Amino acid sequence: MIVCVCKSVSDREIRASIAEGVDSFDELQFELSVATCCGKCEESVRDVMAQSGVCASRCGVEHYAQQSAPVTFYQRTAA
């Protein structure tokens, strides 16, 4: 199914790019030029990303699902 009409990009192409390591919306835009013309496909592109297990958030923070950062707790003490 064509997701981006302006650039003729299908969901298969998006999934293939994700399988090759693309893991952000910005990278998809760079690789496939999705959502770079009218922009109406952005939500659909993000939906395909989410269905493929890639974070499609707009926060711009890179998420590393495979790595877990150590959690440190600090205890407040009275001054």
Q: Please report, as ranges, the residues that interact with ligand FES according to CB under 6 A.
A: 4-7, 34-41
* CB nearer to ligand FES: pick between 10 and 36: 36
* CB nearer to ligand FES: pick between 5 and 16: 5
Tell me the C-alpha to C-alpha distance, in Å, between residue 34 and each of 40, 63, 68, 76, 78: 10, 21, 31, 48, 54
* CB nearer to ligand FES: pick between 4 and 54: 4
Q: What is the DSSP letter of 3?
A: E
Min. distance of Cβ 34 from ligand FES in angstroms?
6
Min. distance of Cβ 43 from ligand FES in angstroms?
10
Tell me the longest C-alpha to C-alpha distance in the chain.
63
Give CA–CA dist 58/72, Å, rounded: 27
Min. distance of Cβ 10 from ligand FES in angstroms?
12
